[in-house]
Amino acid sequence: MKNYARFATLVVAIATLTGCAHMPGGISSSTTPINNRAYEELGKVSGTSSKVMLFGLLPISGSNNTQDAVDSAKEKLGADALIDVTVEAYSQWWILWSNNTTKVTGKGIRFK
């Protein structure tokens, strides 16, 4: 019976100390003013920026910055800007670490 109680306590502790959340961010027509300039669409692309923290307090890597996610997406296609942009964020919490990520999705464009 003691082993069962220990196991149940362990399961409850793990369930309490782990989890995830997904939060919608925003929508924008573009990352740069178009101002009636001609452009070509390069295709759909996404970029992310993440921050990993030890014990939820000590940053280990990354910055979780929206601009870094935009730059990552543009870099993949060599784009000047993104159009039809959406931003979302998600977080994961584990016993020893947590992960916070921002994801930007849109269509890459290059000005002519």
CA 24/CA 78 separation, integer angstroms: 26
Provide the token pair at 95.
């016993």
Instruction: Look at the pTM and tell me if it is higher than 0.85.
Output: no
Q: Is the dihedral of CA 67, 21, 54, 48 positive or negative?
A: negative
CA 86/CA 52 separation, integer angstroms: 23
Helix/strand/coil for 7: helix
CA 89/CA 8 separation, integer angstroms: 32
Mean local confidence (pLDDT), 2-14: 76
- Position 15 pLDDT exceeds 80: no
Q: What is the pLDDT of residue 6?
A: 82
Beta bridge partners of 103: 48, 88
Write the pLDDT tens digit of every residue in 16-74.
Answer: 667 777 777 889 999 999 999 999 999 999 999 999 999 878 999 988 999 999 999 99
- Position 79 pLDDT exceeds 90: yes
Q: What is the pLDDT of residue 7?
A: 78
CA 2/CA 54 separation, integer angstroms: 32
Mean local confidence (pLDDT), 100-110: 96
